[in-house]
Structure 1
C-alpha cells in the first residue's frame, strides 16, 4: 500500500469518479415477496432510468421480468410507487410511457388491461393495486386527467381481469386515496383518504367498508382525522385490521379489536411509520397471526424486529444495517431493503425462524470492491444547538482517502446537504454520491433539520408555517457547529440541496440575516423551488396545497409571507455564486422557476451556472446526466468557492 501523501483538502485524487458513481449505482425502488419468491424493482441509469421488475432466480441471480422497453413506474402523485402487484404467477404493472396497466405472465409478453391514451398524454394513471384473486379484480388508485384545465380526480377503482374487463369506481369524493387492503375473507375493504390542504403525514383518515365485488357499502371511519397521520393499514391472517398512527406523538402500530377499540401494540418513542411520499410503502408485515416483523427508527437509527402481537414484546434482529424499508413476509421468509454507512441499498432475505440474513442484490456493486473500502467515509450522528432550548440532528461525514491527508494545520471545506421533502430525512445508507465528495477531501454534513421524519410528530411540526426559516436556521447551525469545533474550514463552506432541499439552500443564501447567508461561499440547487408563489399556481395536485402548511394559505393576507420567503424575490441579497440543475420534463418544479432565478442573478452580475437536462423529470435518472451534474458542481465550487 502506498504511503499517504500531503495534498490540499478538496484536491485529493479519488477512484470514486463521477462516471463510476453514475454507472455503478442502480436505484432500488421496492422489494416484493410473493409465495416465498423475492422480487424487486430497480431503476437503471444506463437504461435511461428504466424501472425493471426483477425476480430472484433459483441460482441466486436476478432475472428480469419486465422486458424492454417497458418501465414499471407510475406517475400517480408524480412520485409514484406501488407500480406492481403480484398474483398467481403473474405481474400486474403500470408502464411509465403510457401509464396503462399491463398483465405479464409466463409468456413474457405484457398484455394491456386498460385503454390506450387518445394522445401522447397519459390521462389515466394507476397505482397501489391489489389483486382480488377470487373475483378476478385489480383494486387500486386511479388518477384521472381527462378534463382539461381541471384538477385530476383521484378515486379507488376495481378493474376486471377477465375477458369482459370493465372498470368501476368504488370510492370517490376525497381528494386523495391510498393503501386499499382487502380482508382475508374478501368481505371488507380498508383504505386511506385525505383532502386538501393536508398531506398524508399531517392528517389522514382510515376507512373500512363492506365489499361485494361490485360496490363498497356501509363505510365507516375507524381512525385518523385532524392532527393524526395514519399509515399502512394491513389485515392480519386472522382478519384483524392493523395500522400505524402518530396519535401518541410517535408513529406506533395499532390493532383494531373486534369491539372497535384501538390498541397500541408497542408504545414507544420510536417511529414505526414514514412520510408517505410514494405508494406501496411498508414498514411491517405479518409472519403469522401472532407475530409481525417491523422496522422502526429510534435515536436516529433504523432497526428490524419481531413484534409479538399478544404480549407486545419487541425482539430486534442483530443485523449490520441502520436503515430498512419495503418490509415483506411470506412462507417463512422476510425480505426488505436495507443499508448502512458501508452498504448501499440492498435486497436482503431473512429466515424468520433462524434469523439468518443474506444480501441477494446490492445496488452499488462498486462499493463491494475491497480496494475502495479505505476511501469510504463513515458518518456519525451529531446533535447541535439551534434556537434557544432546541437541538437538531445531522450526519457528519469527515474526509476519507487512504492515499491522502491534508496539510498540517489546515481544515477541509464543507458541503452542507439539505434533503428533500422537506418532510424526509438524511439517508443512513451508503451513497456513492456523498463518497464522491469525501474521498476528495471535502467534509459533508447531511442535515435532519426541524421538520424531518424519524424524531416524532413534534419535531416534524417544527416546520409548520416555518419553511425557509427553521430549515435554513438549522442548516446554518450545523455548519457553524462544525466550524466552531474545528472540524471544517469556516471560510470554505457551501450548501446544496434537491427539490425542497434546493429551496432550503437558496433560503440560506437569501436569508434576511446577513450572518446566515454569509456563512456560505457558494450554493447549488438541484431542481429546487425558487418561487413558492409559483408553486401554488403551477405544480401537480398532490403538493398543490402543501404550501398552506409549510408557509401559509395563499391569499391577499398571506401573500407577503410568500414574498418574504421567496428566493427569487430576494435574489438581490445573494452575493455568492449559485449552480442550478434542472430537468426539462419536471412537473413538480417546472424549469420556468429555475430560469427566473438564474436570470435574476445574471442581471446583477452574480455567477449562475445553469444546466438543463433533456428528458429528465424531478430527479435525474440517466447515467450521463448524473455524471455531468456531479462534475459540474465540483468544478463550480473548486473555481469559485474553494480557491
Structure 2
C-alpha cells in the first residue's frame, strides 16, 4: 500500500464521488437515428428538471482526430453535438407509460424535418431547425389523453405513421391502441378527425408499422392481455393500397408462447425478425422463396424484452449485412452475414450495448458502455471495421481508481440452480480496512422483473464502493440474457425465486469471507423494490433495506392500481388471480408487515402511476406502532424512475445514512436520516 493510504473502517472511507456527482451522470443516450447522414438521439438532463433533449451531431470535423479511447479499438470522432431543443421541451412518450421511440426525422428540401413527442402534453410536434416546434396532434382531456410513439415518416404521403394510444375514460385501462397516420401539415393539430386510423382495435397492444421497400406491405407487432411481450407476440402484416389505406391484416408469425420483439424489412424485400421459438431470441429471415429460416442459430440472445415500443436489437444494412446485438448476459455489437451465419464483433472497450441501433449506408450507430465507461454513442464503419465515439463521450468524472472493478460470477441457488451476479468489491486508492474486518454489502435487485442488470460504470454503485460498501447486482431467475428457460423460472414464482436467489448470493458472499454476514442489506426499485420488501418479510438475511417506488400489495396492484400495460402481468408472475387469490395475499409484504423487523428506507414519487403511492401508504399503516425504524421520503413531480438531480441526491444520501446507522459506519458529510418507529 502507498504511504498516504489511511486505515479506516469500511463504510467511512472519504470519497470524491458525492451524491450530486452521481446524480449528474444518471441516465443514458437513447433512441439513436439518422436524419439524412447526421446522427440524432435523445439524452437526459437531470439538472434541468429531468427532461430529455434531442441531440444533433453535425458531421463537420472541427476539432481534428482525437487520441484513441482507453482500452483501444475506439476513437473519438470530430464534429459537434448540440441540443436542438431548449427547456422545457422534453422528448419523451408516455405510451404504455414506459414510453417508446419518441422521434423520427428525414431531410426535406435539403434541411432536417423532425417530429417528436413532448412529454408535458404528449402531442406530436414538427420541428425544423431555425423555427419553433409546431403541434401536429390535438389535445384530449379524457383520461390520459392522446399519446403517440414509434413514429415513421412517410414524406411521400405527407404523413407520419405511429402508434396512437387513446384514453376512452378516466380509468387506467380505459384505453385503445391503433396505428394511425398524422398529417405533417398540421391540419390535425386541433382536429381529431383529421387523424387517419390505419388499423382497427384487433389487438390491445401494437408497435409502430414498418413499411416494405416497395411500399406495398406493412408489418407490426401485437399482443393481448394477459400476455406480456416477452411471453408471446404476433407478427401482423397487411397490404397497403396506393392511397395509403391498409387492407385486412393477418398474423404471419409468433403466438402465445413465442416472443417476437422486433421485425424489419431488408433492402431486398425480405422480412427479418427476432423470435425465441428455439428457447433463445434468434434472428430469422422470411421470404417467398426460402420460407422462414434462422440466420444464426445459437444459444444466445439476439433480442430482449420489449419494455419500450420501438426498441431495436438489429438493423439491416443496404449491403445485405445486418447489425446485431447478441450474447449471453451482456450484448455485444456485431455484423451478421445472413448467407454464412458468421458474426464479426466490433472492436472496442464496450461490453454492453443498449437496445437502440440505427444504420445508414454502411454506417451503424449504437449506444455502448463498459465496466469503466458510461453509455456513449458509438459509430461502426462496416467497410473498415473501425469504431469511434461520436456523441455523449464518456469522460472520467473522478480518478478511475475510485470506481469499482466488478467481477462476473455465477452462484448456486436452491436445488443447485445457477444464479448470475455482478460483484462490486469496495475500492478506494487512499484507504484500506483494518485487518480482519469484512465489508458490508448491499444486494441490488433490478426492476422488471423481466430485465437484467447491465455490467457498466454506474456512479451510484461507485458512490457506495468508494466508501467501503460492496454491491452485488443479482440477475435472479426470471432475468433476461440467458434464454427463455431461465426467464420462465419466475413464472408463478415471483416473490419466491427472486428472493431465494438474492439471499443465496448474499449468504454465499458471507460464507466465503467476502462480506460481513451481520452487515448485509438489500435494495431495489419497482419490481426490485418488491423483491427488497419481500426479502425483508420472508428472510432474516438482511440487517436493513432500501425500497424504491415498489409494488407491495399484489391484490391491489392486480385489481386496478397500476397502468394498463402491466395490469395483468401478475397472471404469469404469480398465477391467475381468480384461481389463487390466497397466493397474492400470502406473498405481499403489505399483508405481512408484522414479519418485518429490520430498519428500512422507503422512497416514492408522488406522480407514479405504475407503482402508486397508495401501496406505500397501505404498507406503512399496517406497520404503524410496531417499533420498526424506518423513513418514508416522497418526491413531488417524480414518477416511476427518479429523473431530477435534487431527488437523486436526497435519495442517495438518505440510503447511505440508513446503512451508516444500522451498520455502525461513519461517512463524512452525510445528513442524518431521521428514522421513525
TM interval, shorter chain, is over 0.9
Q: C-alpha deviations, 1:250-296, integer Å up to 9, x for none?
A: 00000012147211000001001010101221111122242011111
For the residue of structure 2 that corresponds to 1:568, the secondary structure is: helix
Q: Tell me the distance in 2 between the aligned counterparts of 1:302 and 1:19.
A: 30
For the residue of structure 2 that corresponds to 1:569, the secondary structure is: helix
For the residue of structure 2 that corresponds to 1:452, the secondary structure is: coil
TM-aligned CA deviation for residue 108 of structure 1: 2.9
Partner of 1:269: 299
2:168 corresponds to which of 133, 143, 146 = 146
The 1:642–1:424 alpha-carbon spacing in structure 2 relative to 1, beyond 3 Å, is farther
The reply on whether 1:84 has 2:103 as its aligned counterpart is yes
Q: Tell me the distance in 1 between the aligned counterparts of 2:338 and 2:536.
A: 50
For the residue of structure 1 that corresponds to 2:415, the secondary structure is: coil
Partner of 1:420: 447
Q: Tell me the distance in 1 between the aligned counterparts of 2:381 and 2:319.
A: 17
Q: C-alpha deviations, 1:172-226, integer Å up to 9, x for none?
A: 2211001421111111000000000000100000011101244211422111002
Q: Tell me the distance in 1 between the aligned counterparts of 2:399 and 2:490.
A: 39
Q: C-alpha deviations, 1:468-515, integer Å up to 9, x for none?
A: 00000000001011111111111100000000000001111111xxxx
Q: Tell me the distance in 2 between the aligned counterparts of 1:2 and 1:161.
A: 67
Q: Which moved more, 1:353-362 or 1:533-542?
A: 353-362
Q: C-alpha deviations, 1:503-549, integer Å up to 9, x for none?
A: 001111111xxxxx211000011101111111112110000000101
Kindly indicate whether the alpha-carbon contact (under 8 Å) linking 1:98 and 1:122 is maintained by their aligned counterparts in 2. no
Partner of 1:98: 121
Partner of 1:39: 40
Q: Tell me the distance in 2 between the aligned counterparts of 1:552 and 1:135.
A: 47
**Any residues of structure 2 matched to 1:570-581 within 5 Å, and which?**
570-581=592-603
The reply on whether 1:603 has 2:625 as its aligned counterpart is yes
Kindly indicate whether the alpha-carbon contact (under 8 Å) linking 2:136 and 2:186 is maintained by their aligned counterparts in 1. no
Kindly indicate whether the alpha-carbon contact (under 8 Å) linking 2:179 and 2:208 is maintained by their aligned counterparts in 1. no
Partner of 1:356: 386
Kindly indicate whether the alpha-carbon contact (under 8 Å) linking 2:136 and 2:187 is maintained by their aligned counterparts in 1. no
Kindly indicate whether the alpha-carbon contact (under 8 Å) linking 1:385 and 1:391 is maintained by their aligned counterparts in 2. yes
TM-aligned CA deviation for residue 445 of structure 1: 0.3
TM-aligned CA deviation for residue 305 of structure 1: 1.1
Partner of 1:306: 335
Kindly indicate whether the alpha-carbon contact (under 8 Å) linking 1:36 and 1:333 is maintained by their aligned counterparts in 2. no
Partner of 2:57: 56
1:116 corresponds to which of 139, 152, 160 = 139
TM-aligned CA deviation for residue 61 of structure 1: 2.5
Partner of 2:89: 70
Q: Tell me the distance in 2 between the aligned counterparts of 1:210 and 1:343.
A: 45
Q: Tell me the distance in 2 between the aligned counterparts of 1:400 and 1:362.
A: 26
Partner of 2:278: 248
**4+ runs deviating over 4 angstroms:** none
Partner of 2:31: 30
The 1:118–1:148 alpha-carbon spacing in structure 2 relative to 1, beyond 3 Å, is closer
The 1:576–1:164 alpha-carbon spacing in structure 2 relative to 1, beyond 3 Å, is closer
Q: C-alpha deviations, 1:521-578, integer Å up to 9, x for none?
A: 00011101111111112110000000101001112x3110001110010111111011
**Any residues of structure 2 matched to 1:127-526 within 5 Å, and which?**
127-149=149-171, 151-162=174-185, 164-165=187-188, 166-171=194-199, 172-212=201-241, 213-259=243-289, 261-298=291-328, 300-325=329-354, 326-362=356-392, 365=395, 368-369=396-397, 372-511=399-538, 517-526=539-548
TM-aligned CA deviation for residue 310 of structure 1: 1.4
TM-aligned CA deviation for residue 145 of structure 1: 1.1
Q: C-alpha deviations, 1:14-71, integer Å up to 9, x for none?
A: 0010011112444323222233211110111101111100001234222112232211
Q: Tell me the distance in 1 between the aligned counterparts of 2:219 and 2:246.
A: 10
Q: Tell me the distance in 2 between the aligned counterparts of 1:314 and 1:27.
A: 27
Partner of 1:3: 4
The 1:179–1:246 alpha-carbon spacing in structure 2 relative to 1, beyond 3 Å, is farther
The 1:24–1:451 alpha-carbon spacing in structure 2 relative to 1, beyond 3 Å, is closer
Q: Tell me the distance in 1 between the aligned counterparts of 2:153 and 2:290.
A: 27
The 1:541–1:118 alpha-carbon spacing in structure 2 relative to 1, beyond 3 Å, is closer
Kindly indicate whether the alpha-carbon contact (under 8 Å) linking 1:35 and 1:331 is maintained by their aligned counterparts in 2. no
Q: Which moved more, 1:15-24 or 1:628-637?
A: 15-24
Q: Tell me the distance in 1 between the aligned counterparts of 2:414 and 2:383.
A: 48
Q: Tell me the distance in 2 between the aligned counterparts of 1:169 and 1:202.
A: 28
Q: Which moved more, 1:449-458 or 1:32-41?
A: 32-41
Kindly indicate whether the alpha-carbon contact (under 8 Å) linking 2:406 and 2:423 is maintained by their aligned counterparts in 1. yes
Q: Tell me the distance in 1 between the aligned counterparts of 2:492 and 2:658.
A: 33
> TM-score scaled by structure 2?
0.91
Q: C-alpha deviations, 1:593-637, integer Å up to 9, x for none?
A: 012222322321111210000100001000010000000000011
The 1:279–1:163 alpha-carbon spacing in structure 2 relative to 1, beyond 3 Å, is closer
The reply on whether 1:548 has 2:571 as its aligned counterpart is yes
Q: Tell me the distance in 2 between the aligned counterparts of 1:353 and 1:260.
A: 28
For the residue of structure 2 that corresponds to 1:209, the secondary structure is: strand
TM-aligned CA deviation for residue 2 of structure 1: 5.9
For the residue of structure 1 that corresponds to 2:331, the secondary structure is: strand
Kindly indicate whether the alpha-carbon contact (under 8 Å) linking 1:27 and 1:363 is maintained by their aligned counterparts in 2. no
Q: Give unmatched runs, 5+ long, in structure 2.
A: 63-78, 189-193, 666-677
TM-aligned CA deviation for residue 361 of structure 1: 2.8
Q: Give unmatched runs, 5+ long, in structure 1.
A: 512-516
